[in-house]
Structure formats: C-alpha cells, structure tokens
Chain A
Amino acid sequence: MRKFSWFNATSLTFGFAFLYLPMLILIIYSFNESRLVTVWAGFSTKWYGELFQNKAFLDAAKVTIKVAFWSSTLATILGTMAAYIMVRTGQFRGRGLFSGMIYAPLVMPEVITGLSLLLFFIAIGLDRGVITIVLAHTTFAMCYVSVVVTSRLVSFDQSLEEAALDLGCTPFDAFRSVTLPIIMPAVISGWLLAFTLSLDDLVIASFTSGPSSTTLPIKIFSAVRLGVTPEINALSTIMIGLVTIGVISASLVSRSMSIKAKADERRAEQD
C-alpha cells in the first residue's frame, strides 16, 4: 500500500472535481423547486413530472432513439464489411490510401461533414428528415465501428476461416458461421459506440435535420438559447443516469465473462 499524503489527496480531489463538479451541480439543480435555475428553493421532483408532459421533448427523444438505432445498425453492417475487407484482402496497390480514407472522417471537422452532407442531400433532391439524419450519422459512425472491428480482426486467427472452408463452407458461410460469432463482442461494442455517438451528435444533425425531425440534442440546444430551464436539467440527469447504467452493466458483463473464461481454463489445466 502506498502511503497517504496530502499531495495525493489534493490531486485526487481536484481531478475528480474538475471532471464531475459541473454534472453534480446539474443533477442537484434538477431537483430544485424554483423555476430559476441558479436559485435554490427546496427539493422537488416536479420538473421530472413536467418533462413527461412535454410533447416536444418526448417527440424529440423518439426521433433520437429511432435515428440512433437505425444509423448504428447500418454503420455496424457497413463498418464491419469495410474492416473485414481491409484486413483480409492483404496487400494491394493503394491499400494505405483506402484504409486512410476509411479513417479520415474520424478527424474531419463535424461542421465540414455536416455541410457537405447537406449540400449532397440538396443536390440529389432528398428532403431533409429522419432518413437524412440516419444517413449522415451512418457515414461518420461507420468509421468508428470499422476501427473497433479492425482491431479485433487483426488478432483473429485466419486459419479458423480456412478450416471452415476446408470443412465445406462457402466463403460467405464461413464468415457467417465462424468469423461473425467470434468477433461478435467487437461488433456489439462497435454498435454501442455508434449508438452513443448518434445519440449525442448536435452539429451534423442540425445540418441534416428537417422541420419534422428534431433530435433531442438540437431540442436542448435551442431551448437553452432561450434560457436554461429546470426541465432541461431533469432531462440531462435522466440521460446521465441511463449512460451510467449502460456503462456499468457493460463492464459487469465483460468482467463476469472474463472470470468465467479464467475458471474454465483452470479446469482444463486440472484435467
């Protein structure tokens, strides 16, 4: 055990305060009785009740979930395909260029991505709405998925696929029945990443959304411009809660899986 020192305690406190104090204040004020955000007037949960009466927020939440679901699903399919092809085709002329082009959107400013997509949708005459946001989110989430899946595929023993071919699988059957089940954890975490990215994207969504398709971040952002309300605090607290539950349960699942795998290995050694 390392000895307790004032220096360690201070740096720990400041570090965590820096990270979590703003969120803590937001959560506290979501339980504020007063309509004024900055004046404490006693504990109340009434803003949560009012939030669920607010149709505009609920509609925006529905749109956001719908967009996040479809765009992360599409991004996972396309990103996995891209990763598979980049890892499996081996060396060819222009390989570096291709893989660079898959990852470029990661560092592209969102404003530029949003603007170019907007111009593109106008050029092909596609009306802005849920579909355009889904397409826009798919394009940028797909590269995140492909990064996650690529790192799994690089360590994937290619002889497993060869064994499947050897035992009578067509290349597609080998992918479906051997490769995909094995890389599934990476595919799922890619999907979760894409879902989260879509859930909190503001910039690209505001370029590609239409009048009938406001997402929650857009709604919050435009509401805040007219002044922060306790309702928004309540909404943000719910989102923080959901994300926390998601992260904790994901880590619990993966930890229990690794404990089980270790126990299995120990059993194998004893035999």
Chain B
Amino acid sequence: MAQPKPDAIFAPWDDPAATPLIQFKNVTKRFGDFTAIDNLTLDIYAQEFFALLGPSGCGKTTLMRMLGGFETPTTGQIFLDGVDIGPVPPNERPVNMMFQSYALFPHLTVWDNIAFGLKRSDMHKDEIGDRVEKMLKLTQLEKFAKRKPHQISGGQRQRVALARSLAKAPKLLLLDEPLGALDKKLRHETQFELMDIQETIGTTFVIVTHDQEEAMTVASRVAVMVDGTLSQVATPDQIYEAPNSTYVADFIGDVNLIEGTVDVPEKNAASDAVSIRWSATEPAIKATSDLTFGAAATVHFAIRPEKVSISTEAPEADNVMSGKILDIAYLGNISTYHVEVAPGLIIKAQATNVRRVSRRNLTWEDHVYLSWTDTAGVVLMT
C-alpha cells in the first residue's frame, strides 16, 4: 500500500500548472491626473493569505477597492475565477469586505448585522439562523448576539465585522487594515486568531496593511507596493532575507545599507562571489549573489543588524570591521549597538541580552569588532 503523501508546502505560486483565483492584467487606475495604480499585473491563488503592504498613498487600498467593486479600473482587467469582474457591481460579486472602520450597522444587533447579507441571499430562514450561530461561535461572540455595536468593545466589534463578512462564505475576503483600531497587545492576539480562522475555513484572504510586522505575521505572500506599482511579491522570509531593492530592504525591518562599487573578482574566486569596495582604505566587503555585476558597477550592500556579530576581540570571519560604539538601544530582550566604523558610516549590530545589563561588557565609546559571513547580506542593484 502506498504511503500517504506528506503534506506538501502550500506554494501554488511556484506551481506553473496552478490557476490563480484572481488575476490583475495590466490594471491602471487614474483619479484625474493622479495615477493610483500603474499598469499592475498580479496573480493571487485560492486559499492564500495575501498581504498588500505599503506606505499610505501607494495604491494598496485602491487595489482592494477594485476587487470589492467600489472602483473600476481605468484600463486593464481583473479576473476572479476566470470571469472579468470589471463590470460586476459590488452586490453581485462573490467577494466580501471587512472595512477599516468596521462599518457595523449601528441600528442593528450583532445577530442582525451578521444576518444582514444572508437575508439578502436566497438562503432559507432556518438556514440563516444556523449560519449566524455558526459565525457567532467561530468568532466567540455567542454572548453578545443581542447587543448593539455601541454596547461592545473594540475587539468584539472587530470580530463582528469579521463574522459578518464571512457569513456569506465568499470566495474572497478583503480586509482593509482590519486591526488598525486595536491596541498593540490585542492586535497580536487577533493576528493569530485571523490566521486560525483563515486556516479553518480555507477562504482566500487579501489584507491591506501599512504595518510590516502584521503583514509578515499573517500572510503567506506579501506584495510590497510603492507609487502604484509592485516592488516585490514574495513570501515573508524571501522579502526579509532577499529583498530585491534597497526600498524593500529599508521598508521591511531594520537594515544597514552600504554603498560601494564592485571590485574585479579575484582569481579562483567562487562564481557567485562579489567583493564590494566601499572605502579607499578599508578592505572590500565579501558577499555572494546570484546576480552578475559588471566591474565598477555601483551597488548597495544590505545586511540586517541581527546578522552582524559584535565582539571586543578581533574574530576570524569573512568580513570584519572595527569601530566605536556611539549608541546603545536597550530593548529588553535585545540591544542594538550603533557602531561608527568609518567617518559617517554607522553600522547597527544586534545582540541578544543573554546576560543582565549590569554584567554587560560593552558600553559607550568602547572599541569593538563587527563581523559577518559572506552569505549574511544581499547585494542590491537599486
């Protein structure tokens, strides 16, 4: 008997045979002279938890509102399950949206809010009751069914909004900054709740957020948007470890960016080795890259602070720099050290605080060594 196949990693975007649920094809949206979305092409697959991430004004909300049917593309097409949904009004789309303000109907109870969409479908009355109860259970709101929206807390309102948008079992759920109004602790808890619910029901979620941590936590793939275009669409770890531009590297998390020029490769160097000269006197940075660079090309070397080790004695490593500690940011679990390695060039290094502060051996003005391996950073063209 054949062994049951182990669960494959969920990655339909790597499977050329998979058909996407949503396809944006050369979509452009203009408001007067302002181009909100600029010739954008994007595929989103069924059961994905897809995050649109970007600063305000990057077009992420416009993109979502086009999926909801509240905006129509100026040019280009949007397909949902192979159907061009451009001309379909919002009330006829198998898409539901959870609004940033929650948009709960203040004159209806929690129960009636959740039943609102079902009553407008051809569902039978008894089934509506069952469905609402199921949604209340899913979001743990059974106790609050008879309350009005202003009689419950912010976190409960957020769950009512979620239950209401899930009640009609849409093919696609849109979430517009769904956790923006919650405080930090509740937001973290709710992020995991959202992920659990998404896994339980298997609906495709598209979330809009400006909070990179939130996008990284919940999403299976993240699209980083800037000025109406996609900078990078990839899994959270790829976005973090292998950003494709200094913009993405800088937008997601903390990063050290060092500008330099590509050195002529040494003889018998590995084919993927790149050495970057960033100073006339200091040794070049040794790095690796899948890309090939012309000699003397201007590049940026990006390395995350936690991948830089800090020590008081010169270590054996591919890259070693020495400098003076300018600043220490103590964050409890970790500390970030700002080290000036050359006039005007400050490198941030992060270390876990395994010892208590009083026993820490590094302090201001100390002379320290920073080191990292040749694979720790990425070389970026732009």
Do A and B truly interact?
Answer: yes
A: residues with CB less than 8 A from B are: 157, 159-160, 162-170, 173, 178, 181-182, 261, 264-265, 267-269, 271
A65 to chain B: closest CB distance in Å? 31
Q: Check A178 against B105 for contact (C-beta < 8 Å).
A: yes
Among A159, A181, A265, contact of B103 (Cβ-Cβ < 8 Å)? A159
A178 to B164, CA, bound (A): 15
Find chain A residues with CB under 8 A from B69 CB.
Answer: 165-166
- Tell whether A157 pairs with B91 under 8 Å between CB atoms, given A163-B97, A166-B96: no
Q: Check A173 against B153 for contact (C-beta < 8 Å).
A: no
Q: Check B120 against A173 for contact (C-beta < 8 Å).
A: yes
Q: Which residues 78-132 of B sit at the A interface, judged by CB distance below 8 A?
A: 89-91, 95-97, 99-101, 103, 105-107, 116-117, 120-121
A165 to B97, CA, bound (A): 10
Find chain B residues with CB under 8 A from A164 CB.
Answer: 105, 116
Which of B144-152, B264-272, B331-339 lies at the binding interface? Answer: B144-152
- Tell whether A268 pairs with B152 under 8 Å between CB atoms, given A157-B103, A162-B90, A168-B168: yes
9 interchain pairs, CB-CB under 8 A: A157-B101, A163-B103, A166-B165, A168-B168, A178-B105, A264-B148, A268-B150, A268-B152, A271-B152
Find chain A residues with CB under 8 A from B96 CB.
Answer: 166-167
For B, the interface residue count at a CB cutoff of 8 angstroms equals 29
- Tell whether A166 pairs with B116 under 8 Å between CB atoms, given A160-B103, A264-B151, A268-B152: no
| B68 in contact (CB, < 8 A) | yes
Among A162, A168, A269, contact of B121 (Cβ-Cβ < 8 Å)? A168
| B70 in contact (CB, < 8 A) | yes
Among A159, A166, A178, contact of B100 (Cβ-Cβ < 8 Å)? A159
Q: Check B103 against A269 for contact (C-beta < 8 Å).
A: no
Q: Check B99 against A159 for contact (C-beta < 8 Å).
A: yes
Type the 1/0 row for B20-43, where 1 means its CB is closer than 8 Å to any CB of A: 000000000000000000000000
- Tell whether A167 pairs with B99 under 8 Å between CB atoms, given A182-B106, A267-B151: no
A157 to B105, CA, bound (A): 10
Q: Check A268 against B153 for contact (C-beta < 8 Å).
A: yes
A165 to B99, CA, bound (A): 12
**Consensus secondary structure, chain B interface:** loop
B228 to chain A: closest CB distance in Å? 21
Find chain A residues with CB under 8 A from B68 CB.
Answer: 162, 166
Among A165, A178, A265, contact of B89 (Cβ-Cβ < 8 Å)? A165
A271 to B110, CA, bound (A): 16
Q: Check A166 against B153 for contact (C-beta < 8 Å).
A: no
Q: Check B150 against A165 for contact (C-beta < 8 Å).
A: no
- Tell whether A170 pairs with B91 under 8 Å between CB atoms, given A162-B70, A264-B151, A268-B151: yes
- Tell whether A168 pairs with B150 under 8 Å between CB atoms, given A157-B101, A160-B103, A160-B105: no
- Tell whether A168 pairs with B117 under 8 Å between CB atoms, given A162-B70, A267-B151, A268-B150: yes
Find chain A residues with CB under 8 A from B151 CB.
Answer: 264-265, 267-268
A268 to B106, CA, bound (A): 14
Closest to A180 in B: B107
A167 to B105, CA, bound (A): 12
Closest to B167 in A: A167
Find chain A residues with CB under 8 A from B91 CB.
Answer: 165-170
Type the 1/0 row for B161-194, where 1 means its CB is closer than 8 Å to any CB of A: 0001100100000000000000000000000000
Closest 8 CB pairs of A and B: A167-B117, A168-B120, A163-B103, A159-B103, A165-B90, A159-B99, A181-B107, A264-B151
Known: A165-B70, A178-B105. 16 other contacts (CB 8 A): A157-B103, A159-B99, A159-B101, A160-B105, A162-B68, A162-B103, A165-B69, A165-B91, A166-B95, A167-B91, A167-B96, A167-B116, A168-B121, A169-B120, A265-B150, A265-B151
A17 to B105, CA, bound (A): 48
Closest to A174 in B: B91
A168 to B94, CA, bound (A): 9
A247 to B106, CA, bound (A): 27
A269 to B151, CA, bound (A): 8
A169 to B168, CA, bound (A): 13
Find chain B residues with CB under 8 A from A168 CB.
Answer: 91, 117, 120-121, 168
A157 to B100, CA, bound (A): 11
A233 to chain B: closest CB distance in Å? 45
A185 to chain B: closest CB distance in Å? 11
A169 to B96, CA, bound (A): 12
Find chain A residues with CB under 8 A from B164 CB.
Answer: 163, 167
Which of A162, A181, A269 has most chain B Cβ within 10 Å? A162
Find chain A residues with CB under 8 A from B89 CB.
Answer: 165
A96 to chain B: closest CB distance in Å? 18
A160 to B104, CA, bound (A): 7
A110 to chain B: closest CB distance in Å? 38
Find chain B residues with CB under 8 A from A269 CB.
Answer: 153
A179 to chain B: closest CB distance in Å? 10
B44 to chain A: closest CB distance in Å? 19
A268 to B149, CA, bound (A): 9
B254 to chain A: closest CB distance in Å? 35
